[in-house]
Amino acid sequence: MKVLIIGSGGREHAMAWQCAKFDSVEKVFVAPGNAGTALEKKLINIDIGVEAIDELVEFAKNKKIDLTIVGPEAPLVIGIVDYFQANGLTIFGPTKAASQLEGSKSFCKDFLSRNKIPTATYKIFDKSAPAIEYIKNQSLPIVIKTDGLAAGKGVIIANTQKQAIKAINDMLEENYFGVAGNKIVIEEFLVGEELSFIAMVDENNVLPMATSQDHKARDNNDKGPNTGGMGAYSPVTSVNNEILQNIMNTIIYPTVDKMKEQGMTYTGFLYAGLMINNKGKAKVLEYNCRLGDPETQPILLRLKSNLANLCLLAANNKLNDANIKWDDRAALGVVLAADGYPGDYKKDQQITLPDDTENTKIFHAGTKLVNNKILSNGGRVLCATALGKDVKSAKDNAYKLVNKIDWQGCYYRDDIGFKAIKPNTED
């Protein structure tokens, strides 16, 4: 089959690479891709942007693409799935209506609260004066979020009233986040362990994928500004079967059932960002309508089944026929970012990489290929990912891989996976 993957990040490199491993997949086109996808066997980059829906439909029709899988949220939120389906094309992802779970935080929070799905208490505002009044009676820290998409930067955790007021004003008065910040959600700060829980969903079935944990803060020990994610590992062994069953019963099934009941049937990857408290009870921090980045990189290094087949089954509402197989080992990915990210950073720096092995893989994100040289071309640039018998050994292998990368001017955390590794097992 011929597959089209939409996107250009580490997640999309991992998706395309995983599909291409299998003989049943003849070619994988990546729109627009990066240097990693340009260099990979069976992968072909095409120069079409992720939101150029008309051009993508034309391309999929001309090349007789059998299956399209969407990486990032932006095209989903503007309705790429509806458009492909209206053109008779097979695509796996949520419709525009269903993508609101990620596209609008106020939609998501109202949906969760209306349907009694556990989440932090909250209030929605579109004027700063009542928002400022409201926070005066709330405990700190408090969380302020833009309603719309803000590339992972629209969440402020305020430790003081002054910071909270500044965040409210930045969003509602200063237009700092554009229209995404015309409405805001103010919510209770939750404590506990974060978990990324992703399921594949079709009209009738839900298939959970392997668990993972992201590291959103830029610096070691979860300090520094929030980023798109500085590294991830899978599985999260502290989350036992009882907790997982509880997540399915109190969060995932009710979400899928209620979306259907309310006329917005959800299909696609459903990513629940969860906070699990010390009693093992989970609450929803956010929903994403796609796979996570960088969670996908370690997850797909562990996936033994063919991702393209799974997505094709799902697109035909036959996920109940899927037999998903995972490598029992752990996988861990370390993101190498350009120094300065998530603020200003340099581009066009040359990078030299070691060869991939059976147990290690370097996924590209912000890279481009110029005269056969790999140059940096974004904030998050690479994800060095490795397998190991447990998270500790996957971590050791991933950092050995990082040490073989020749790139002046990269920045990375050196504690990815720290919550999964007991201090006495550290070197």
The residue among 188 and 396 lying less far from ligand AMP, judged by its C-beta, is: 188
Give yes or no for residue 143 binding ligand AMP (CB under 6 A).
yes
Type of residue numbered 232: A
> How far apart are alpha carbons 17 and 36 in whole angstroms?
9
- Is-cis flag, bond preceding 32, omega within 30? yes
For residue 229, the minimal CB distance to ligand GLY (Å) is 4
The tokens describing 392, both together, are 């500790």
DSSP H helices in 33-188: 35-39, 53-62, 73-77, 80-86, 96-103, 105-114, 128-136, 161-172
Binding site for ligand GLY (CB under 6 A): 214, 229, 288, 292-293, 295
Q: What is the CA radius of gyration of the chain?
A: 21
Give yes or no for residue 74 binding ligand AMP (CB under 6 A).
no
Choose which of 11, 183, 215, 216 interacts with ligand AMP (CB under 6 A): 216
Q: Are 410 and 391 in contact (CB under 8 A)?
A: no
Q: Per-residue x/- mask for ligand AMP, residues 269 to 298, rule CB under 6 A?
A: ----x-----------xx------------
The residue among 40 and 293 lying less far from ligand AMP, judged by its C-beta, is: 293
Give yes or no for residue 124 binding ligand AMP (CB under 6 A).
no
List binders of ligand AMP among 148-177 (CB under 6 A): 155, 157
For residue 89, the minimal CB distance to ligand GLY (Å) is 25
Residue 157 CB contacts under 8 Å (≥ 6 apart), including other chains: 141, 142, 143, 189
Q: Are 187 and 122 in contact (CB under 8 A)?
A: yes
From the list ligand GLY, ligand AMP, none, which binds 190 (C-beta under 5 to 8 Å, kind-based)? Answer: ligand AMP
From the list ligand GLY, ligand AMP, none, which binds 288 (C-beta under 5 to 8 Å, kind-based)? Answer: ligand GLY
- Nearest residue to the partner ligand AMP, using Cβ: 286
Give yes or no for residue 187 binding ligand AMP (CB under 6 A).
yes
The tokens describing 348, both together, are 């066009």
From the list ligand GLY, ligand AMP, none, which binds 292 (C-beta under 5 to 8 Å, kind-based)? Answer: ligand GLY
Residue 143 CB contacts under 8 Å (≥ 6 apart), including other chains: 120, 155, 156, 157, 158, 186, 187, 188, 189
Give yes or no for residue 184 binding ligand AMP (CB under 6 A).
no
What is the DSSP-derived secondary structure letter of residue 190?
A: P
For residue 49, the minimal CB distance to ligand AMP (Å) is 24
User: Under the rule (CB under 6 A), what is the footprint of ligand AMP?
Assistant: 120, 143, 145, 155, 157, 187-190, 194, 216, 273, 285-286
